[in-house]
């Protein structure tokens, strides 16, 4: 929809929404992953809470998180060491105060999950702690070996569903924010059942929409991760930060007929090795930590090895772990590979990097507030400052948990705010392109290794794509619009950062520049700036 027609259609549907919901919400939480569910739990009792899921309530990035959740619980560990590792991985851009909040909150957050029924793996009666890349201690908790995100999400959903005042709505893709007097006033959803765009007003909105990995042709993210929250926030005028930093996981399965299934970093933490097509272990040539180097280093090393040997993949050799450990510690990974004819205990797995996690997103303070009043963000869609230029492994589930709770508490302060039912969405114009074309452009121009020429070309191509309205826009059209916006934002921010830092690597500026030890910011109202 575009212009006044789009606005009137959304508003005319309001009566339908009033009839379909048990009651009008005070608070809207967009996303049913860990960040959204934890915020909803915190909001219970402050008013009616509506949790909106784009697909089913189980389809989120949280469900697919294998590696684990980090917390300084070991006798040889401390929150200070956890902070040091996080800051080191962030390559000079992690915000120290945000990191302190994260690591200090971790032990209590884990205890709370256990109290609510989360079943983490144990060795005898003690919590089992693993180690992953760039961690100096064993501090990674897992559940059912490699199903940690699923276990935490299950625990939070059961807790949220048991509380009064929380309602869930699935198969409703949020396409835009409602705006009134310069503030967030609700959301517009593309409802799968009615095939209508529906306006839902609220006192405050939390975006917990997850990642953007689906803008790339190879990703570990679920199909719903098309950057919707970032694009909606940008159109509404909110500030975004650090979008140039996209983490590519080094080891996604590269097997004909199989999806790019994630082979957890924890495999390397337990002793799996990376081999090139010649059967040679290569990581020690690139970093003293070898296979446990930061993910950006490992991903680029793999790309270099593939280019050097003229192959489309390298190999992850998990045979040193043995079949018993693979079956016990990584049951989901082991069984999934077996389904596609690959026995990890007997042969190396072909792997290559895949888009995995966005360090940047909607800028927030430490309480989840964005630059747009009454709009909050938490989880991967938010830029809290924790991850900097490169996320430390297994900090993402923890960040979603800690900052989801903090955002929920801050939103409670708006329990008495006025609900504005005159909110209007931005007009909807759709680019003339396809999902495949956008993904190809993103991979070629905004991928693991970048250059100014490629980034400038991407910006030009995206900026000159024709835009038009649509009489009956579908979810796919809305996703194409969001992907187009997000790729342009990444390209624009990456072009402005004339250095290489963390997950952002440019061949024309291959070293770090102290002048760019700052966060990028961009919004609809201003081009890229550094703070």
d(CA 497, CA 487): 15
User: What tokens does 10 get?
Assistant: 């959304």
Judge whether 295 counts as a catalytic residue.
Answer: yes
Place of tokens 């392109």: 433
63-88 burial code (b ≥16 CB/10 A, e <16): bbbbbbbbbbbeeebebebbbebbbb
User: What tokens does 274 get?
Assistant: 């990376």
257: left (phi over 0), alpha (psi -120 to 50) or beta: left
Pairing verdict, β 349-358 and 314-317: antiparallel
The DSSP code for 128 is P
Angle between helices 96-115 and 396-411 (to 10 degrees): 90
The residues with which 361 forms a beta bridge, in sequence order, are 241
d(CA 179, CA 183): 6
Place of tokens 């079956």: 327
Rounded to 5°, the CA angle 472-474-477 comes to 110
User: What tokens does 262 get?
Assistant: 């994630």
Which residue out of 38, 169, 295, 521 is catalytically annotated?
295
**Residues 450 and 494: beta-carbon distance below 8 Å:** yes
d(CA 159, CA 32): 13
Query: Hey, is 408 helix, strand or coil?
Result: helix
Q: List active site positions.
A: 295
């Amino acid at each position: 929809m575009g212009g006044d027609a789009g606005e009137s259609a959304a508003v005319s549907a309001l009566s339908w929404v009033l009839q379909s919901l048990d009651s009008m919400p005070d608070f809207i939480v967009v996303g049913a992953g860990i960040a959204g569910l934890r915020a909803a739990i915190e909001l219970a009792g402050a008013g009616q809470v509506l949790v909106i899921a784009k697909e089913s309530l189980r389809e989120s990035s949280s469900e697919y998180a294998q590696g684990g959740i980090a917390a300084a619980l070991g006798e040889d560990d401390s929150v200070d060491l956890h902070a040091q590792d996080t800051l080191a991985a962030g390559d000079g851009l992690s915000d120290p105060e945000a990191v302190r909040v994260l690591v200090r909150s971790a032990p209590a957050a884990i205890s709370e999950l256990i109290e609510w029924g989360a079943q983490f793996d144990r060795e005898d009666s003690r919590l089992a702690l693993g180690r992953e890349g760039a961690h100096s201690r064993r501090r990674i908790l897992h559940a059912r070996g490699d199903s940690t995100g699923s276990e935490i999400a299950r625990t939070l959903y059961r807790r949220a569903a048991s509380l009064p005042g929380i309602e869930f709505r699935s198969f409703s893709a949020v396409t835009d924010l409602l705006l009134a007097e310069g503030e967030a006033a609700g959301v517009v959803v593309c409802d799968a059942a009615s095939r209508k765009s529906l306006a839902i007003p609220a006192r405050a909105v939390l975006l917990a929409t997850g990642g953007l990995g689906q803008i790339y042709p190879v990703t570990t993210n679920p199909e719903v991760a098309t950057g919707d929250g970032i694009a909606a926030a940008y159109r509404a005028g909110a500030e975004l930060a650090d979008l140039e930093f996209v983490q590519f996981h080094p080891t996604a399965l590269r097997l004909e007929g199989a999806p790019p299934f994630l082979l957890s970093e924890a495999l390397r933490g337990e002793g799996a090795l990376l081999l090139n097509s010649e059967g040679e272990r290569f990581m020690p040539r690139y970093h003293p930590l070898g296979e446990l180097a930061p993910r950006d280093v490992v991903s680029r090393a793999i790309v270099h090895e593939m280019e050097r040997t003229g192959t489309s993949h390298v190999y992850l050799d998990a045979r040193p772990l043995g079949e018993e450990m693979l079956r016990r510690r990584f049951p989901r990974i082991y069984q999934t590979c077996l389904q596609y004819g690959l026995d990890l205990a007997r042969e190396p797995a072909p792997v290559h990097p895949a888009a995995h996690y966005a360090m940047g997103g909607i800028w927030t303070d430490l309480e989840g507030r964005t630059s747009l009043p009454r709009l909050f963000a938490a989880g991967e869609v938010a830029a809290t400052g924790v991850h900097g230029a490169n996320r430390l492994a297994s900090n993402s589930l923890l960040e979603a948990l800690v900052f989801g709770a903090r955002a929920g508490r801050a939103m409670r302060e708006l329990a008495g705010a006025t609900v504005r039912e005159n909110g209007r969405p931005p007009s909807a114009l759709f680019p003339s392109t396809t999902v495949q074309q956008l993904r190809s452009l993103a991979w070629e121009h905004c991928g693991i290794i970048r250059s100014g020429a490629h980034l400038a070309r991407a910006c030009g191509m995206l900026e000159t794509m024709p835009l038009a309205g649509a009489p009956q826009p579908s979810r796919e059209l809305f996703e194409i619009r969001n992907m187009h916006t997000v790729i342009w934002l990444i390209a624009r921010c990456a072009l402005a950062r004339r250095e290489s830092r963390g997950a952002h690597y440019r061949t024309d500026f291959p070293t770090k520049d102290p002048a760019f030890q700052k966060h990028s910011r961009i919004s609809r109202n201003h081009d890229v700036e550094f703070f």
